[in-house]
Chain A
Amino acid sequence: MERDTHFILGVYDDEDVLLHAVEQVRGSGVKIHEVYSPYPVHGLEHVLGYKRSKLPIAAFLFGMLGLTLALTMQFYMMKFDWPMIIGGKDYGAFPDFVPVSFEMTVLLAAFGMVGVFLITSNLKPWAQPRIFDLRSTDDKHIMAIDLANNSSLDLDKIKEILTESGATEVNKKSFE
């Protein structure tokens, strides 16, 4: 990708300064590529204007799938395929099927949701992430600004906006 190879990085020490900085930088008309943090900063997704994750819906749908599969499997096996009287109960003894149905609902909801999370976030063992600054997994918050996306703005102007917003360092980073 030729376009997004040149970045300006704002380095922030503090999460609260970062939250204000994101608002300020976006307010000045600069488009932020992404913010990289060593830990989850609450409220960052709001100031960056990200939409709420749809993962809860995925979890619900996979959970429903698990419940359906579990009930279908148990009724098919116990009532239709090989009916047997066990403990004088009905073939389709629904109360007895509750524990397994619950467990399979949880199992599929958890695995389905995590699967969707890994795929949408592009997390896989052979992934080669672009690391803007090695300290972003240690103690610094890194705000990356894609120069190609902000071609209307002057380079020095962006640097000035970042410094004003409280960045302790402003660096340039280019990828091959």
Chain B
Amino acid sequence: MQVTSSVRQPLVTGGKTYHDVTHDVCRQVEGKPSKLWFLAFLTAFGVLAIGSTALLATLWEGIGMWGLNKTVGWAWDITNFVWWVGIGHAGTLISAVLLLFRQKWRTSINRAAEAMTIFAVICAAMFPIIHMGRPWLGAYWALPLPNTYGSLWVNFNSPLLWDVFAISTYFSVSLVFWYIGLIPDFATIRDRATGLRKIIYGALSLGWDGAAKTWMRYESVSLILAGLATPLVLSVHTIVSFDFATSVIPGWHTTIFPPYFVAGAIFSGFAMVLTLMIVTRKVYKLEDYITIGHIELMNIVIIITGSIVGIAYITEFFMAWYSGVEAEQYAFINRATGPYWWAYWSMMTCNVISPQLFWIKKIRTSIVATFALSIVVNIGMWFERFVIIVTSLHRDYLPSSWAMFYPTLVDVGVYLFTFGFFFTAFFLFAKFFPVINMAEVKSVLKSSSEKAHK
């Protein structure tokens, strides 16, 4: 029944049987964590603890603790927000868009990528919430709740409110998508376990029994969720870009923003997936599941999206010149040659030049090179948001109010806090949850592994 291609590389190597898949993945959940895991977890938790002092300082004293001034009213906070949301695009893209395109290689990486998405979106959502200054009152400013002002409602004409709906929908739908995929795997762990673990994973698996009828509904749910999540992924960063594009600030007011932001988000998201997966496959010895083939395919996505981003940078410059609007032209000349020239050229080097190295097969199939470049890409993408936000603001229409932005320790600390949170959550996930979607890998095993044929 299954058609095996003699041209394509097998998705799972090492001649794994169905039982091997179960064993290799469940082993991580069932065994005692290694010393390396404890070291990594404690480091992440330590960063979280140090960063939390900056978070407390922000909540206690207010956002005056940040380096903002009256000219530059958005800087690190919104840069970090957009950066984390961008990273949070890979997971659902891998599980939804690649499912619709029948890209079966997604099965080994979708679980961890989706987990990463969820944690990244939590990190992202933190910044708009704390930048409200009094986040405990934020529900009245962000949600359409009746209040004591009459009711004076939230403003549905504002892209900032669209963002509230986009991010919260994206987060909750991604979470549900992730959990539905986890149910059969929790059942696998439950059926191997005894005692307390059996009770916990039994509850988590919601009484899954693998009946053909349930699988049929499960497949139907996955397909429709993928269909719903695909436009959702594209809409989220589109709406984030509206925060800028619908304003009248030179450097922000461009129609190119939505596709350019979405491409950038996928670019940085895949880079973060690579950073994490290269470490995970090594520590958990999952080289047979996350193969060089997987890494190469992800690098190809990075070349494509990186090239789109590069073209967008050049198009922006061209349009600034071609529009004949002096303020627009100045904003772009100032980006490249003004006081923040170093941020601009870091961005250009990291995002435009470095991904082009992946055209060379030796580089895109090298683990060391991929790991290094995946970090370079994310540094570049952080600078991209910094350049767009800060350089567009710091020299506004009135030269007397021109200013520079310098981050304070609290700015840095809050950013560190999100890093600590992200990695703490990811390490906990990697210990207690099956990092590879066993059921989906098993469903592609027969067509892609030599041994399962026999």
Contact = CB atoms under 8 A, between A and B. Distances in A.
A58 to B, nearest CB: 9
A50 B212 contact: yes
A118 B188 CA distance: 18
A36 B207 CA distance: 13
Pick from A16, A111, A139 the residue with the most CB of B within 10 Å: A139
Contacts of A86: 155, 157-158
A121 B214 CA distance: 6
Given A77-B153, A110-B225, A39 B165 contact: no
Interface residues of B, number: 67
Interface string B170-208: 001100110010011001101110000000000110111
B218 interface: yes
Interface stretch (B43-51, B387-395, B405-413, B440-448): B440-448
B194 to A, nearest CB: 11
A74 B156 contact: yes
Nearest to B180: A114
Given A53-B216, A81-B151, A114-B176, A127 B207 contact: yes
A134 interface: yes
A129 interface: yes
Interface of B is mostly: helix
Given A34-B213, A55-B224, A138-B19, A129 B208 contact: yes
Interface in A105-148: 106-107, 109-111, 113-114, 117-118, 120-131, 134-139
A40 B219 contact: yes
A53 B224 CA distance: 12
B249 to A, nearest CB: 15
B188 A121 contact: no
Interface string B151-166: 1111111110110011
Nearest to A99: B162
Contacts of B161: 100
B155 to A, nearest CB: 6
B199 to A, nearest CB: 11
Given A103-B169, A111-B176, A137-B210, A38 B224 contact: no
Contact of B157 (A36, A96, A123): A96
A50 B218 CA distance: 14
B54 to A, nearest CB: 32
A99 to B, nearest CB: 4
B210 A38 contact: yes
Contact of B191 (A14, A82, A138): A138
Interface stretch (B227-235, B263-271, B312-320, B419-427): B227-235
A67 interface: no
Interface string B38-59: 0000000000000000000000
Contacts of A125: 203-204, 206-207
B255 interface: no
A24 interface: no
Nearest to A136: B210
B212 A134 contact: no
B3 interface: no
B192 A138 contact: yes
A139 B157 contact: no
Nearest to B165: A103
Interface in B416-444: 438-440, 442-443
Contacts of A126: 203, 207
A75 to B, nearest CB: 9
Contact of A113 (B204, B207, B224, B235): B224
B215 A41 contact: yes
Interface of B: 1-2, 17-19, 22, 144, 150-159, 161-162, 165-166, 169, 172-173, 176-177, 180, 183-184, 187-188, 190-192, 203-204, 206-221, 224-225, 228-229, 231-232, 235, 239, 242, 438-440, 442-443, 446
Given A16-B1, A39-B440, 20 more contacts: A14-B446, A36-B210, A44-B215, A74-B156, A78-B153, A87-B157, A96-B156, A99-B239, A100-B156, A100-B162, A103-B169, A121-B214, A123-B183, A124-B206, A125-B203, A125-B206, A125-B207, A128-B207, A129-B209, A138-B191
7 contacts: A16-B1, A39-B440, A41-B212, A53-B217, A59-B224, A113-B225, A126-B203
Interface of A: 14-16, 19, 34-41, 43-45, 48, 50, 53, 55-56, 59, 73-74, 77-78, 81-82, 86-87, 89, 93, 96-97, 99-100, 102-104, 106-107, 109-111, 113-114, 117-118, 120-131, 134-139
